[in-house]
Amino acid sequence: MQLSRRFLPPMSLLCAFEASARHQSFTAAAAELHLTQSAVSRQIRALEDRLGIDLFVRERQTVRLSPAGQAYAQEIRGALMRISNATLGLRTNPQGGSLNLAILPTFGTRWLAPRLPQFFSAHPGITINLTTRLSQFDFQLEAVDAGIHFGLPHWPGAELAFLMSETVVPACSPAMWAQHQFAQPQDLLRAPLLHLASRPDAWHRWFEHQGHPTSEVPGMLFDQFATAAQAATAGVGVALLPSFLIAQELASGELVRALPQLPEMESAERYYLAWPTSRSAYPPLQAFRTWIQASASSFMAQHVQGPATPPVALSAALARS
């Protein structure tokens, strides 16, 4: 740390720079920081002198970030956010610590959230702060300790722990099944197919897995499972969805399997917990990693594919639709 302090500017200069970079204005930054515009300008100049680099381009009465300033602002903003979150976590939970966890929306709400009380019961001193991320991100630029990842076991700059696999099924509303009477995979092409942006090749893989490869799979695009599932429930089309994430809809009859006679297809991707190497020894992360791996393993051991809804049983579901 003695060496690194040589390159650590005063916090006041960094806060003035971050606010000025965010507002692209010394005047607006001064108002936010309760300083004068000239004071902020002096702090920015002092930081530039310290770094030996112009962070802003000054043009008449306006300022804008230089290319070097843009890169520096991104790093400093992430660092200040991590300091702020660490301070808040210590104040709100001084005995346990907090874990900032990035989740996939549907996995987080449907699978993880109902199980969190078990974790809190076993670890009452730890607080978990949840944030949504749909894709991979740079842990160095985000105030996040770990994230739920679905895909191949690869995340640059991160370590991964396997959680679980999944199987997917084509699902639709009872009314859509009654309208089309799907009997074989090709029949699904008569209905609108609902696609997920995070899995653009899912339908192609499914048709190939069923022995009916096709080059054209037209349909609508959705960015989240929950939206696609809701659209399928409303009769918009047929969605290819993880069975464990739509268990409620299948049980209630809001959704039915479009081809109940076919087995579910296991996805090539898997669910993982990802975290930066620098946080591997962080106690709240260690506790959460051990717990979620055990929970996922128990779930996979107990999760048995439920019976398909046969076409003859759709009358009751149709009566509720």
Tens-place pLDDT, residues 64-83: 999 999 999 999 998 898 88
Query: CB–CB of 194/231 below 8 Å?
Result: yes
Closest CA to 303 of 226, 242, 237, 228: 242
Residue 17 CA to residue 24 CA, distance in Å, equals: 10
Which run of H or E residues covers position 164?
A: strand 158-164
Whether this prediction's pTM lies above 0.85 is answered by no
- Joined together, the tokens standing for residue 267 give 């996805």
Residue 221 CA to residue 217 CA, distance in Å, equals: 11
- The mean predicted confidence, pLDDT, of the chain is 87
DSSP letter assigned to residue 114: G
What is the number of H-type helices and E-type strands within the chain? 12, 13
> What is the predicted pLDDT for the residue at 309?
37
Query: CB–CB of 238/181 below 8 Å?
Result: no
Instruction: Give the residue-averaged pLDDT of 109-130.
Output: 92
Instruction: Give the residue-averaged pLDDT of 138-142.
Output: 86
Residue 43: Cβ-neighbour burial (10 angstroms; 0-12, 13-18, 19+): buried
Residue 263 reports pLDDT greater than 80: yes
- Joined together, the tokens standing for residue 198 give 């995070």
Q: How far apart are the first and last CA of the chain?
A: 65
Query: CB–CB of 243/146 below 8 Å?
Result: no
* 3-state secondary structure at position 184: coil
Instruction: Give the residue-averaged pLDDT of 50-54.
Output: 93
Instruction: Give the residue-averaged pLDDT of 132-161.
Output: 90
Closest CA to 74 of 9, 138, 147: 138
DSSP characters over 25-79: -HHHHHHHHT--HHHHHHHHHHHHHHHTS--EEEETTEEEE-HHHHHHHHHHHHH
Alpha carbon of 175 to those of 88, 171, 213, 232: distances in Å?
A: 51, 12, 27, 10
Residue 3 reports pLDDT greater than 60: no
Q: Per-residue confidence at 89, pLDDT binned at 50, 70, 90? A: low
Residue 259 reports pLDDT greater than 60: yes
Residue 315 reports pLDDT greater than 50: no
Query: CB–CB of 247/241 below 8 Å?
Result: no
Residue 7 CA to residue 317 CA, distance in Å, equals: 67
Query: 73: number of CA atoms within 13 Å, CB side?
Result: 20
* 3-state secondary structure at position 294: helix
Exposed e or buried b per residue across 231-245, where buried means at least 16 C-beta atoms within 10 angstroms of its C-beta: bbbebbbbbbbbbbb
Task: Give the alpha-carbon dihedral of 251, 257, 260, 265, to 10 degrees.
Answer: -110
Residue 192 reports pLDDT greater than 90: yes
